[in-house]
Amino acid sequence: MGTQQPPPSHPSQGAAKEEDQAADQHEKGQLQDAGALFVLKSKGSWVHSGYHLTTSIVAPALLSLPYAFTFLGWICGIVSLVIGALVTFYSYNLISMVLERHAELGHRHLRFRDMAHDILGPKWGRYYVGPIQFMVCYGAVVACTLLGGQCMKSIYLLSNPNGSMKLYEFVIIFGCFMLILAQIPSFHSLRHINLVSLVLSLSYSACATAASIYIGNSSKGPKKDYSIKGDTESQIFGIFNAIAIIATTYGNGIIPEIQATLAPPVKGKMFKGLCVCYGVLTVTFFSVAISGYWAFGNQSEGLILTNFLEDGKTLVPKWFIFMTNVFTILQLSAVGVVYLQPTNEVLEKTFGDPSNPEFSARNVFPRVITRSLSVIIATIIAAMLPFFGDINAVIGAFGFIPLDFILPVVFFNLTFKPSKRTLLFWLNVTIAVVFTALGIIAAIAAVRQISLDAKNYRLFANV
């Protein structure tokens, strides 16, 4: 009697089994690499996540909101701010729920690209989400370095109006400060710095609001004009440029990495952290945007602090401008270090050795060298390209809108599979479609703005 052969497995079953094995290997690999072990330590509480979220969202970019209003006017400006707050709070909660769901299933994702790898497929994580997130976060580091240098130059010119120091010199000074902070080993280690950052964001926002109200009530400021400048074409492209500015201001791009810092179980902790963040966000965003636009109208500059000076004369006491700029510089350093974390994690994963202790010579030397090079490169880019704000608008359109408005609703629908008959499903589809269209148009508007400003571009310009 012959030996009975086992029945052949169905091809789809074999493929599914291979996918499950690949997912298991990917899960084990991400928990064993040095980036996950050393940078994304899971030790924090929901309060700490609130600090991290606030630093990553409530940043000095909010000082450009009055400028965004110059393209939108009162009604559209306020409506855009409200929609941005509601949609991002909703989408950040969705992405947190997706992370919690996969953690319950035994696949805890620590990085944005890990989510894309398991939900959309390996190619999406490696060739789209990973590079887009890196571009957004590293772009934020460059922008913080440039803005820090600009604030330092403002302080210098207040005390020495005829000074000869150039912008790139201040950018280098700020970069040296960042070089020190970049060596802080893990994301969790930043919790105390980010608490100070939260206080600083409230402080400089209060200063900007108070100064705007003071100038608006005095005869020192410009005549209030809330009309939208430019011809029809400029106005239309201006609207989408403003949308890119607002999207970038609300942008985060590192929700999975922030949630990775939470000690398990993580369920419900991110919602509490988001409530802390959006409490601060509501106070700061709306007060600065409304008071700044009310005081300066369509004369609002790209950074509202610039409006406090007119023809070299200060419209508020010098010490007040000095204090506001110091608060802004200090918080910029915290924001820059937070957005360095995805880069640090990749560097640690590539050059670190998880089999050796975190502070062994084998891990410390590569960490110091690679992080220092990362900051030096960002500083050189910021010094060379003082018009980086235009480039950042493109990054916001291509990066923050997909990461913060589109992918969260797509991840939720693919993970939880809500019925197509439910309002939730169609709300998520509508958000994805609308913000995809807005992202494309905003990117076109941002590229157009770069082409218009190209004649003024010059490397290491002293602007």
Integer Cα distance of 257 and 110 in angstroms: 6
> Which segments of 352-458 does DSSP mark as H helices, in order?
361-384, 388-395, 401, 407-416, 423-453
Integer Cα distance of 86 and 71 in angstroms: 21
Integer Cα distance of 71 and 289 in angstroms: 13
* Neighbouring C-alpha atoms within 13 Å toward the C-beta of 442: 30
| Cβ pair 194, 338 in contact under 8 A | yes
- The DSSP output letter for 127 is I
| Full pLDDT tens readout for the chain, 463 residues | 444 444 444 444 544 444 444 444 444 445 568 888 889 888 999 999 999 999 999 999 899 999 999 999 999 999 999 999 999 999 999 999 999 999 888 888 899 999 999 999 998 988 999 999 998 999 899 989 999 999 999 899 888 888 888 999 999 999 999 999 999 999 999 999 999 999 999 999 999 999 999 999 987 778 889 999 888 888 888 888 888 888 889 988 899 999 999 998 888 899 999 999 999 999 999 999 999 999 999 999 888 998 998 877 889 999 999 999 999 999 999 999 999 999 999 999 999 999 898 899 999 999 999 999 999 999 999 998 877 666 767 777 788 889 999 999 999 999 999 999 999 999 999 999 999 998 888 888 888 877 777 777 777 777 6
Q: How would DSSP label each residue in 221-249?
A: SPPP--PPPS-HHHHHHHHHHHHHHHHHH
pTM of the model: 0.89
The amino acid present at 68, given as its one-letter code, is A
What 3-state class would DSSP assign to 44? strand
What residue segments make up the domains of the chain, in order of their start?
41-456
Q: Residue 437 CB: number of other CB atoms within 10 A?
A: 10
Task: Specify the CATH number for 41-456; select among 1.20.120.520, 1.10.4160.10, 3.40.630.30, 1.10.10.60.
Answer: 1.10.4160.10
